[in-house]
Structure 1
Amino acid sequence: MFDAQRIGAVVIGASAGGVEALNHLLPMLPKTFAPPVLIVVHVRQGQPSLLPGLFATRCELAIEEPFDKDEIAPGTVYFAPPGYHMLVEAEEGAAPSIALSVDPPVRFSRPSVDVLFESAAHAYGERLLGIVLSGANDDGARGARAIHGAGGVCWAQEPATAQAAAMPLAAIRENAVHEVLTLDEMAMRLAQCIDRR
Structure 2
Amino acid sequence: MIKVLLADDSGIVRAILKQLMNDDERFIVCATAENGQRAVELNAVFKPDLIIMDINMPVMDGITATKKILSQSSPAVIAFTTEDSADIGFKCLEAGALDVVKKPDLAEMNQSVISSFLDQFYFIAEKNKFNIQKPRKKSLLTHIEQNAESYGLTDFKSLSTSKQYEAVVVGSSTGGPAALLELLTGFGSSFPLPVLITQHIDTLFDVHLVKWLKKNSGQNIKLAENGEIPRPGTFYLAPADRHLTVTGNYESQKIITITDDSPVHYLKPAVDKLFSSAAEAYRDRLIAVILTGMGRDGAEGCRKAFDNGALTIAQDEKTCTVFGMPQAAIKEGGIKQILSLEEIAPFIRRKISL
Same fold per superposition (TM over 0.5)? yes
Write the distance in 1 (CA, Å) between the matches of 2:317 and 2:221: 27
The one of 187, 203, 206 aligned to 1:45: 203
Q: Which runs of 5+ in 2 are unaligned?
A: 1-158
* Counterpart amino acid of residue 134 in structure 1: T
Structure 2 equivalent of residue 54 of structure 1: 212
Q: Which residue identity lines up with residue 194 of structure 2 in the other structure?
A: P
3-state SS of paired residue (1:50) = helix
- Which range moves more in the overlay, 38-47 or 7-16? 38-47
Q: Within 5 Å, which residues of 2 pair with 1:63-142?
A: 63-90=221-248, 94-142=252-300
The CA distance in 2 between the partners of 1:164 and 1:152, in whole Å, is 24
- The structure-2 alpha-carbon separation of the partners of 1:44 and 1:115, relative to structure 1 and needing over 3 Å to count, comes to same
Matched, 1:163 2:321: yes
Deviation at 1:56, TM superposition (A): 1.1
Q: Is 1:27 equivalent to 2:185 in the alignment?
A: yes
Distance (Å, rounded) in 1 between the aligned partners of 2:185 and 2:290: 18
Is the partner of 1:192 in helix, strand or coil?
A: helix
* Bigger mean CA deviation after superposition, 68-77 or 25-34: 25-34
Q: Counterpart of 1:118 in 2: which secondary structure?
A: helix
1:73-99 CA-partner distances (Å, limit 9, x unpaired): 111100000010000011687421100
Structure having the higher helix fraction is 2
Q: Which moved more, 1:53-62 or 1:13-22?
A: 53-62
Q: 2:217 aligns to what SS in structure 1?
A: coil
> Which letter does structure 2 place at the counterpart of 1:103?
D
Give the equivalent residue in structure 2 for 1:8.
Answer: 166
RMSD (CA atoms):
1.9
Greater C-alpha radius of gyration: 2
Structure-2 separation of matches of 1:119 and 1:2: 23
**Identical aligned residues as a percent:** 33
Q: Deviations over 1:94-125 (max 9, x none)?
A: 42110000011001111000000000000000
SS in 2 for 1:191: helix
When residues 71 and 133 of structure 1 are mapped into structure 2, their CA distance, relative to the original with a 3 A threshold, is same
**Structure 1, unaligned stretches of length 5 or more?**
none
Give the TM-score normalised by the residue count of structure 1: 0.92
Q: CA deviation at 1:27?
A: 1.1
SS at match of 2:278: helix
Cα deviations by residue, 1:151-188 (Å, 9 ceiling, x for unpaired): 11101000122101111100010111001100121121
The alpha-carbon distance between structure 1 residues 48 and 153, as it changes in their structure 2 partners (threshold 3 A), is closer
Compared CA separation, residues 137 and 124, structure 1 to 2 (3 A): same
Mapped partners of 2:329, 2:250: distance in 1: 30
SS in 2 for 1:74: coil
Q: Which residue of 2 aligns with 1:174?
A: 332
Match in the other structure for 2:307: 149
TM-score by length of 2: 0.52
Q: CA deviation at 1:23?
A: 1.4
Q: Aligned partners of 1:68, 1:25: CA distance in 2, in Å? A: 25
CA contact under 8 A between 1:87 and 1:115: conserved in structure 2?
yes
Distance 1:36 1:67 in 2: 14
1:18 matched residue in structure 2: 176
Counterpart of 1:61, as a letter, is Q
